[in-house]
Chains A and B, each alone.
Chain A
């Protein structure tokens, strides 16, 4: 946003037009991703509750798996430049997300891949496979969170 002066005039105007929603965006996108990841956590709790039962309700797992799969697609767009930690914004997103974009993208893709594969396994109805896949899915959460999220007290 600071280098509009170096651009040609039409480009600068375009940038300005874009800058208006962009300026308002960070707060919204932070709220969006906080709410989104909360839903992922809640959905994963539902899955793990069923899997720890001896008589899991597979439809609950399947619905939750599809929710997580959909959020896993959306989260690819939840970390635009400028939405990192700064005064007045409460976020657990670490600056490393933007300073190590390749590693972060790999972690995001890992989550998306595991979420897709879990949804497929859930649809198959095989509970033993779901238990194994849920573990792998959980590990993909942990992989990203260890590097890119400020650790919360548990």
Chain B
């Protein structure tokens, strides 16, 4: 590998999404533990924007960002695990489902947070006025459980990345920063996302995140 070829994998929105997620999940955790609930709500609003953006980006983003590209059936997973699958840029067939699991857990996390009410009826999510106290408490309980699940999934994700780095000698962190990955064979053409798609996804996600957290009387 004298001069390893590099090829485009992750578009800029995906990379920003990933690292913003890392920061905001950490910040949300800290702000909840220290009862900075105004900051916790703001962080939740930013996360709602990111999740909605990512779900739309999974439909209209660049090739490796799309669900249709990285969500594969059991045959593809088996072929990958037994080393018979050709290397493709982006999530591998198993990692794709891990991404979906994290996105789902995060959606439950943010979704329950919108309706959650604390035990004293003081702090609450932006949509909590739509539910009664007991339903809000239930949302809060699920909010706690789903965070544990999220922590486990993130732990597995980090372990898998370390496994690739240390055992398989393949750095997955670098491409998530630079957008480009080393390839051994010929580079594969990757479908780029259009600026219009980016504008649509940003606008939709931004509007929803603003609207959900806006004053209930608006």
Q: Mark B23-42, 1 if CB is under 8 A from A, else 0.
A: 00000000010010000000
- A152: min CB distance to chain B, Å: 6
Cα A138 to Cα B119 in complex, Å, equals 12
Nearest neighbor of A138 in chain B, beta-carbon distance: B122
How many interface contacts (CB-CB < 8 Å) are there between A and B?
Answer: 59
Q: Could you say which residues of chain B place their CB within 8 Å of the CB of A154?
A: 32, 35, 116, 118-119, 123, 140, 143-144
B144 contacts which of A46, A141, A153 (Cβ < 8 Å)? A153
Is B217 a contact partner of A145 (Cβ separation < 8 A)? no
Interface-side segment among A25-33, A37-45, A80-88, A113-121: A37-45
A-B contact pairs, 9 of them (CB 8 A): A38-B133, A40-B120, A44-B122, A45-B117, A46-B133, A49-B128, A54-B215, A154-B116, A154-B143
Known: A41-B121, A44-B121, A138-B122. A53 touches B133 (CB 8 A): no
- Say yes or no for A48: interface residue by CB 8 A criterion: yes
Known: A153-B144, A154-B32. A41 touches B120 (CB 8 A): yes
Give chain B interface residues in 1-57, CB to chain A under 8 Å: 32, 35
Q: Could you say which residues of chain B place their CB within 8 Å of the CB of A49?
A: 124, 128-129
Q: Could you say which residues of chain B place their CB within 8 Å of the CB of A153?
A: 144
Q: Could you say which residues of chain B place their CB within 8 Å of the CB of A43?
A: 121
Q: Which residues of B contact A (CB under 8 A)?
A: 32, 35, 116-124, 128-129, 132-134, 136, 140, 143-144, 215-217
Cα A142 to Cα B122 in complex, Å, equals 10
Q: Could you say which residues of chain A place their CB within 8 Å of the CB of B215?
A: 52, 54
- Say yes or no for A99: interface residue by CB 8 A criterion: no
Known: A52-B216, A154-B32. A41 touches B124 (CB 8 A): no
Is B132 a contact partner of A48 (Cβ separation < 8 A)? no
Cα A42 to Cα B131 in complex, Å, equals 11
